[in-house]
Structures are given as structure tokens and as C-alpha cells.
């Protein structure tokens, strides 16, 4: 029945968003259409930005990226100007904005290390490294 799943993120200004995703995250569009930009990642997954007059609440994680080396990814992204959000979560260890998240899906490991940030459109995004 279902053949895949795709994330869609709202953008009030697609040109601003395209520049931010390029300059800060280092991503280039795979395809574009009027009102939309599609990005593909190395693992074959994809997400799109779409023109919207609405704005994301930014109150929950809307999309997460996975990396093999969280410290390296954080250092590279901070070098491009990315500001990480800092959370004080009772019971979770937080060091240099990296949250140690206990538990994970069995296929992913025993836990996760993660950081969060907002894109230029207010979308709340995360980066995780399964452990």
C-alpha cells in the first residue's frame, strides 16, 4: 500500500530558505518546481520545502537528520553559523547542547545523542546519532 514517506516543511520565503539550507546545512536542491524545493540525502531519503503563508509553530521536532559523528557535524555546522538550542531536560544529561537521550528503537540501538535548532523559517529540526 504505502511505498514511502516524505517530510514537508513550510517556508514563507523559498529563496531565503534555499540560501539558508545551502549556506548553513550545505544542502543543494535535487529538484525544484513552482512553490517547492526537494532535497535528497545520501541514504535516499528526501524532504521538501513548500511555499506557505503559514508559519511552523516550532514547538516540536518536525524533522530529524541522522549522522555517524555528532561532534563533527556540530562543529562543521557551528562553523557555518548554526546556533543550537539548549534544553534543560530533567533526567537527561546535556553537554555543550548535546542531549544524551536514553532508549531508542531496537533497530537503531540503545540510545541517541541529539541536538536541535531552528531553520530560517522557524521549523524545529534535530540531528541525532544513534548509540
For the segment 66-99, what is each residue's pLDDT rounded down to a tens digit?
A: 999 999 999 999 999 999 998 777 888 888 889 9
The whole-model pTM stands at 0.89
For the segment 106-128, what is each residue's pLDDT rounded down to a tens digit?
A: 888 788 899 999 999 999 999 99
Taking the C-alpha atoms of residue 98 and residue 31, their distance in angstroms, rounded to an integer, is 32
Taking the C-alpha atoms of residue 7 and residue 114, their distance in angstroms, rounded to an integer, is 19
119, with CB counted inside 10 A (0-12, 13-18, 19+), is buried
Number of residues assigned to the chain: 131
For the segment 4-55, what is each residue's pLDDT rounded down to a tens digit?
A: 788 999 999 999 999 999 999 999 999 999 999 999 999 899 999 999 998 8
Write down the pLDDT at residue 27.
97
Q: How does residue 105 score in pLDDT terms, banded at 50, 70 and 90?
A: confident
Write down the pLDDT at residue 8.
94
Write down the pLDDT at residue 57.
84
Which residue did the predictor score with more confidence, 104 or 117?
A: 117
What are the structural domains, with CATH classification, of the chain? 7-130 (3.10.180.10)
Amino acid at each position: 500500500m504505502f511505498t514511502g514517506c516524505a517530510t514537508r516543511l513550510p517556508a514563507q520565503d523559498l529563496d531565503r530558505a534555499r540560501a539558508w539550507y545551502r549556506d548553513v546545512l550545505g544542502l543543494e536542491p535535487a529538484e525544484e518546481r513552482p512553490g517547492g524545493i526537494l532535497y535528497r540525502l545520501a541514504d535516499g531519503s528526501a524532504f521538501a520545502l513548500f511555499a506557505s503563508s503559514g508559519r511552523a509553530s516550532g514547538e516540536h521536532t518536525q524533522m530529524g537528520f541522522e549522522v555517524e559523528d555528532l561532534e563533527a557535524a556540530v562543529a562543521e555546522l557551528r562553523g557555518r553559523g548554526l546556533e543550537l538550542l539548549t534544553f534543560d531536560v530533567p533526567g537527561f544529561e546535556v553537554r555543550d547542547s548535546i542531549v544524551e537521550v536514553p532508549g531508542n528503537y531496537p533497530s537503531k540501538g540503545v540510545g541517541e545523542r541529539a541536538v536541535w535548532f531552528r531553520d530560517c523559517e522557524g521549523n524545529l529540526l534535530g540531528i541525532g546519532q544513534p548509540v
